[in-house]
Amino acid sequence: MGSGSSFPQHDEFDLSDEPGVVKRIPIEMNPRRTFGGALRSVGSLGRRPRGVSLRSTFSVELDNTEVEKIRKEFEMYKISKQAEMGDSLKKVNKLENENRRLRAELQALQKTCDKLRTQRDLTLDAEYQALERASSFETERNKVQKQFKIFRESKESEIRDLLKAKEKFERALHHVDPEALSEMRGKDLADEANRFQELWPSLQSEPSIGSSTQLQSLRRAFDELEGFPTSSRAWTDLPSLSFAQTLTSFSFSPSSIRVYVSVSPDLSHDVLSFLKSREANLRHLCEKENRFLSLVSFSGHTEDEEDQFMNMQEVRRNEIKRSNILVSVVSKVDRFVEEDLNLGYLSNPGERKTICLFHNMSEQAATLSRQVKSKGLALIIEDDLTFEGKLNSLYLEIEKLLKLELGHDTTSEVYQACRVPSDVTDSPRNGAFWDLYGENEQQQTLVAALDCVCELGVSKLHDRLNEHILAAGPLPPLLVLGGPGSGRSLLLARWLSNHVKRNPSCLVLYHFVGSPSSRSAVVVNMIQRLTSQVMQIVPSSQNLTSDPSRLLEEFPYWLEKVSTNLPDGVVLVIDSGDRFQNCEDNLAWLLDPLPVESRVIISAQVETCPKVWRSWPVLEIDPLSEEEISEFLQTIPLKKDSYLSEDMERQVLQRCKMGDDVHPLYLTVLMSSLLSNLRWTDEEVVECLNCPNTEQLYQYLIQDILGRHSRAAPHVRKALQLILVSQNGIPESALFDLVPELSWNTWAPVCQELQDRYVLTVKCGLLSYAYEQARTAVQLLFSPEEELVLSRDELTEYYMRAVRSNNATCHICDELPGLLQSSENLPLLREFASNVDVFRILYTRGRYADILNCWQTVGLDRLSVSKEYFEIIKQMEEAAALNDTPCPEVANLFEMVGKFSKDLGLLNQAVWAFQRALEVREAIDPDDPSVGRCFYLLGSLHIQWGKVASAESYFKQALYIWEMCEASCQQWVTKALDSLAILYKRQGKYDMVESLTKKSATLKKEVASQEASSQSQRGQGNLRRRIQVLQEQCQKLEGVPLAEALADLGVLFLWQQDLESAKEHLMQGITIMERLGSVRTPKLLRPLGTLATVYETAKDLEQAESVYLRMLDICKKIPERDSPIANMAARNLGSLYKKQGKFEKAEMLYKDSIRRKEACLGTEHPNVATDLLNLAILFCQQGNHAQALPLFERALSVYENCYGPRHPRVAEILRNLAVLHYERGNEQRAAELYKRANEMKEMMSISGGSRLASRRSSVTSVSVSRPLSEK
Residue ranges of domains in the chain: 4-54, 64-193, 254-423, 436-620, 626-798
Q: Please report the sign of the dihedral spanned by the C-alpha atoms of residue 420, residue 422, residue 423, residue 424.
A: positive
> Among 505-509, 704-708, 945-949, 1019-1023, where is mean pLDDT lowest?
1019-1023
DSSP letter string over 716-757?
A: HHHHHHHHHH-SS-B-HHHHHHH-TT--HHHHHHHHHHHHHT
What does the alpha-carbon distance between residue 361 and residue 1198 come to, in Å, rounded to a whole number?
70
CA distance linking residue 203 with residue 200, whole number of Å: 5
Q: What percent of the chain has pLDDT over 90?
A: 12
8-state DSSP, 676: H
Question: Mean pLDDT over residues 1162-1185, rounded?
Answer: 81
Whether the predicted pLDDT of 581 surpasses 80? yes
Residue 619 has pLDDT above 60, yes or no: yes
Question: Residue 481: its pLDDT value, please?
Answer: 93
Question: Alpha carbon of 586 to those of 521, 522, 535, 579, 945: distances in Å?
Answer: 11, 9, 21, 12, 33
Q: Are strands 379-381 and 478-482 parallel, antiparallel or unpaired?
A: unpaired
Task: Classify domain 254-423 by CATH architecture.
Answer: 3-Layer(aba) Sandwich (3.40)
Return the pLDDT at 217. 29
Q: Give CA–CA dist 1068/1042, Å, rounded.
A: 10
pLDDT at 420 over 50: no
Specify the pLDDT at position 155.
74
pLDDT at 545: 74
Find the angle CA(547)-CA(552)-CA(554) to the nearest 5 degrees: 90
Euclidean distance between CA atoms 685 and 668, whole angstroms: 16
Give the model's pLDDT for residue 630: 77
Quick one: pLDDT band at residue 1231, thresholds 50, 70, 90? confident
Which residues make Cβ contacts (< 8 Å) with residue 1150, sequence separation at least 6?
A: 1131, 1134, 1171, 1174, 1175, 1178
pLDDT of residue 258: 92
Nearest to 1199 by CA among 1156, 1172, 1169: 1169
State the Cα–Cα distance between residues 192 and 160, nearest whole angstrom. Answer: 11
98-119 pLDDT, tens digit per residue, is 999 999 989 889 888 988 988 8
Superfamily of domain 436-620: P-loop containing nucleotide triphosphate hydrolases (3.40.50.300)
Instruction: Tell me if 378 sits within 8 A of 1033, measured CB to CB.
Output: no
Which pLDDT tens digit goes with each residue over 1066-1107?
A: 888 888 887 776 555 667 778 888 888 888 888 888 888 888
Q: What is the mean pLDDT of the chain?
A: 76
The larger pLDDT score, comparing residue 1257 to residue 888, is at 888
pLDDT value at 426 more than 60: no
- How far is Cα 976 from Cα 631, in angstroms, rounded to an integer? 67
Question: Which range in 338-342, 626-630, 646-650 is most confidently predicted, on average pLDDT?
Answer: 338-342
pLDDT of residue 228 exceeding 60, the answer is: no
Indicate if 436-620 has the same CATH topology as 254-423: yes
**How sure is the predictor about 193, in pLDDT bands with cuts at 50, 70 and 90?**
very low
SS3 1165: coil
* Mean pLDDT (whole number) for 883-907: 83
Contact in structure between 547 and 524 (CB atoms under 8 Å): no
Q: Which of 498-507, 912-921, 968-977 has the highest mean pLDDT?
A: 912-921
CA atoms within 13 A of residue 812's CA, in its CB half-sphere:
32
Mean pLDDT comparison of 434-448, 691-705, 1020-1034, highest-scoring range: 691-705
Position 306 scores a pLDDT of 53
**DSSP per-residue codes, 883-926:** TT---HHHHHHHHHHHHHHHHTT-HHHHHHHHHHHHHHHHHH-T
Task: Enter the pTM of the model.
Answer: 0.66
Going across the sheet that includes 353-358, the strands are 292-297, 256-263, 325-330, 353-358, 379-381
For residue 718, what pLDDT is reported?
92
| Three-state secondary structure string covering 856-883 | HHHCCCHHHHHHHHHHHHHHHHHHHHHC
The whole-angstrom separation of Cα 853 and Cα 838 is 14
Highest mean pLDDT among 111-125, 673-687, 795-809, 1169-1183: 795-809
Please give the distance of CA 516 from its chain centroid, rounded to a whole number. 25
Q: What percent of the chain has pLDDT over 70?
A: 76
Q: Is the pLDDT of residue 1004 over 50?
A: yes
Check: CB of residue 730 under 8 Å from CB of residue 723.
yes
Run of H or E residues at 1253: strand 1251-1253
Q: Which of 674, 725, 682 is nearest to 701 (CA)?
A: 674
* CA angle at 94 for the pair 92 and 100, rounded to the nearest 5°: 105
Neighbouring CB atoms inside 10 A of 1182's CB total 14
Least confident of 422-431, 509-518, 980-989: 422-431
Buried b (16+ CB within 10 A) or exposed e, 1081-1118: ebebbbbbbbbbbbbbeeebeeebbebbebbbebbeee
Per-residue model confidence (pLDDT) at position 886: 66
When pLDDT is cut at 50, 70 and 90, the band that residue 422 belongs to is very low
The answer to whether 984 touches 1015, Cβ cutoff 8 Å, is no
> Does the structure show a pLDDT above 70 at 56?
no
Are 416 and 410 in contact by the 8 Å Cβ rule? The answer is: yes
Question: DSSP E strands: which ranges in 588-734?
Answer: 598-605, 618-620
- Say what the pLDDT of residue 617 is: 92
Looking at residue 759, its pLDDT comes to 92
Q: What is the mean pLDDT of residues 975-982?
A: 88
More confident residue, 47 or 1150: 1150
What is the H or E stretch that residue 220 is in? none
Q: How far apart are CA 911 and CA 926, in angstroms?
A: 19
* 235 has a pLDDT exceeding 90: no
> pLDDT-based confidence at 216, cuts 50/70/90?
very low
The phi and psi torsions of 975 (rounded to 5 degrees) equal -65, -45
Question: How would you classify the pairing of strands 478-482 and 598-605?
Answer: parallel
Q: Band the pLDDT of 21: cuts 50, 70, 90.
A: very low
Q: Taking Cα atoms as reference points, which of 419, 242, 238 lies closest to residue 1093?
A: 238
SS3 598: strand
- pLDDT of the residue at 1243: 58
Contact in structure between 804 and 759 (CB atoms under 8 Å): no
Please state, in angstroms and rounded to a whole number, the distance separating the CA atoms of residues 492 and 691.
28
- The model's confidence at residue 513, banded by pLDDT at 50, 70 and 90, is very high
Are 1261 and 1251 contacting, i.e. CB atoms less than 8 angstroms apart?
no
**AA letter at 907:** L
Task: Tell me the mean pLDDT in the region 905-932.
Answer: 87
Q: Where are the alpha helices (DSSP H) in 925-1058?
A: 929-945, 948-964, 970-987, 990-1034, 1040-1055
pLDDT at 876: 86
Tell me the C-alpha to C-alpha distance, in Å, between residue 906 and each of 408, 527, 854, 859, 872.
37, 24, 18, 18, 18
